[in-house]
A = this chain, B = another copy of it.
Amino acid sequence: MTAVSNPISVTTGPITGSSKTYRELPDGARVPFRRVHLSTGDHLDLYDTSGPYTDDTAVIDLAAGLLARPGVLRNRGTQLQRARNGEITAEMAFIAEREGMPAEVVRDEVARGRAVIPANHNHPESEPMIIGKAFAVKVNANIGNSAVTSSVAEEVEKMVWATRWGADTIMDLSTGRDIHLTREWILRNSPVPVGTVPMYQALEKVDGDPTALTWEVYRDTVIEQCEQGVDYMTVHAGVLLRYIPLTVGRVTGIVSRGGSIMAAWMLARHAESFLYTHFAELCEILARYDVTFSLGDGLRPGSIADANDEAQFAELRTLGELTKIAKAHGVQVMIEGPGHVPMQKIVQNVRLEEDLCEEAPFYTLGPLTTDIAPAYDHITSAIGAAIVAQAGTAMLCYVTPKEHLGLPDRSDVKTGVITYKIAAHAADLAKAHPRAQERDDALSTARFEFRWHDQFALSLDPDTAREFHDETLPAAPAKSAHFCSMCGPKFCSMRISHDVRDAYEKGMAEKSREFSDGGNQVYLPLAATPKRI
């Protein structure tokens, strides 16, 4: 790879309390898991997005890039085409093991267009993963420099850092210097699929003047990125000339960069979007590499006032039309969604997307449930993200505390990823995803048994959990103490609860006759788990 001036260093080594493990498939592929080691001698294996960086036996050479998966062949057709032909691909088998789902379900969901496997033939460094509502809800982390800030080295480390904490895909949204080079370093070293918005690089090629864009410049940029290995591309092909007037009365107009660039182009030329008029040609290009469309919502609402308006839903209808064209070309498709939406209007977005776009995976940004909390928009949007995911959204695009204010730094990236893992997991629980509750139960059991180290190891962020605990009780004995500083020893409900349980069990043996008139339910047999209602 072309060398970069700044030295690049990334975070490596296992997450506290865990180690990397693999399950080997018949074809020799090794499916990674994060194994959490418990003080009881048990362990729990978790879905792991972090690649070789958390494997302390792996040798990392950033300049050479990650090792390619064996057996990735070009020109074998897309996962969609192969699924329709009844083939269970190597990627599908890998994903089935990763998700704990039958391979036939994976194939069927892909064949129906209800799930996508973003896996450009030219990105063999990536570990196969799936985005679809039958599977665990996924999280994307946006990284990338802007004209104002950041360097290649920082962006590579952000990619490694984001996947360490659970990002399932990365979008490189660079708009500044060295777009191609930054992307090259990210792609060659990314263990997860990488998405882009090719429009950003195309605009750089015409010196930032939207009206100077042409289909040819855009097309060549798409081909360049396909060749490089980008796994999915946001294309704002649903922003049509006739929709622009629908945005004029809005509080916040057009807030999507891609959408506003195309709107500027269309108004200047008084012509229909070249993304729309050349869409079939775009499909032919993406099909060759098995690059997945992420049909962008260029007219998404940027404020509570603009949510679910005619501009937004007019574009969604066009995205439905484009979905059918893409699928006819064998190209995998997902659909991007809002934005800023108050809670009571969120579910309608999912139902409409499913109706109009044949249940293509929905991929939403938030949505933010209020406009009034800049600096906390990871939280305003986590509320919306959990709700939209419960309703069927397949992947959530994270929002960081810097949203609306600046470019996220390393710390913001981690906060954004962890916050969105919470929303995704809350939705997995709500959807009764197989295995989702295992981790909750393991952590709560550790909590009840005062196994502090296990509690930390099982949490989304072991280091911060431990650090918070240690702020007031840093000494080693506190790690097995039957209380914490929150209530102090006298008031620990869990400690008292153990005493209650002991007393109850003792009472069972000694006192059962004496107190049987206290009501039938007083001395339920211990073995009988209370009924859930």
A residues sitting closer than 8 Å to B (CB atoms) are: 146-149, 175-176, 200, 203, 208, 210, 241-257, 259-261, 263-264, 267-268, 270, 302-305, 308-311, 313, 340, 342-344, 369-376, 378-380, 382-383, 386-387, 390, 401-407, 409, 418-419, 421-423, 425-427, 429-432, 437, 439-441, 443-445, 447-448, 455-456, 458-461, 464-465, 467-469, 471-473, 484-494, 496-501, 503-505, 507, 511, 514-515, 518-519, 521-524, 526, 528-533
Contact = CB atoms under 8 A, between A and B. Distances in A.
Contacts of A460: 372-373, 376
A496 B264 contact: yes
Contact of A254 (B148, B493, B524): B493
Nearest to A378: B379
Given A248-B526, A444-B371, A254 B343 contact: no
A254 B498 CA distance: 9
Contacts of A303: 440-441, 444, 447-448
Contacts of A515: 270
Given A440-B372, A493-B255, A248 B418 contact: no
Nearest to A301: B444
Secondary structure call for the A interface: helix
B148 A472 contact: yes
A489 B147 contact: yes
Contacts of A444: 251-252, 302-305, 340, 371
A372 B458 CA distance: 7
A257 B487 contact: yes
A310 B532 contact: yes
26 contacts: A146-B486, A146-B491, A148-B488, A175-B488, A203-B491, A241-B518, A247-B530, A249-B526, A255-B493, A264-B500, A303-B444, A303-B447, A304-B437, A304-B440, A305-B444, A343-B426, A369-B429, A372-B458, A374-B465, A380-B422, A387-B387, A401-B468, A402-B468, A405-B468, A405-B484, A407-B486
A343 B386 contact: yes
The 10 tightest CB contacts between A and B, nearest first, are A147-B488, A253-B497, A303-B444, A260-B496, A208-B490, A343-B430, A369-B426, A249-B529, A242-B519, A260-B493
A501 B253 contact: yes
Given A242-B521, A267-B507, A342-B426, 18 more contacts: A244-B500, A244-B522, A246-B524, A253-B493, A253-B497, A254-B500, A257-B492, A260-B496, A264-B496, A305-B441, A310-B532, A313-B533, A372-B459, A375-B468, A379-B382, A379-B419, A405-B465, A406-B472
B485 A149 contact: yes
Contacts of A440: 303-305, 370-372
A416 to B, nearest CB: 11
Contacts of A505: 248
Contacts of A376: 418-419, 422, 460-461, 464
A329 B251 CA distance: 51
A487 B173 CA distance: 9
Contacts of A430: 342-344, 369
Contact of A373 (B267, B369, B429, B461): B461
Nearest to A490: B208
Contact of A383 (B147, B263, B383, B484): B383
Given A245-B521, A490-B208, A524-B245, A250 B379 contact: no
Contacts of A254: 493, 496-497, 500
A499 B264 CA distance: 7
A263 B518 contact: no
A247 B448 CA distance: 13
Among A244, A264, A443, A497, chain B packs the most CB atoms within 10 A around the CB of A497
B342 A429 contact: yes
A490 B458 CA distance: 44
A521 B175 contact: no
B496 A261 contact: yes
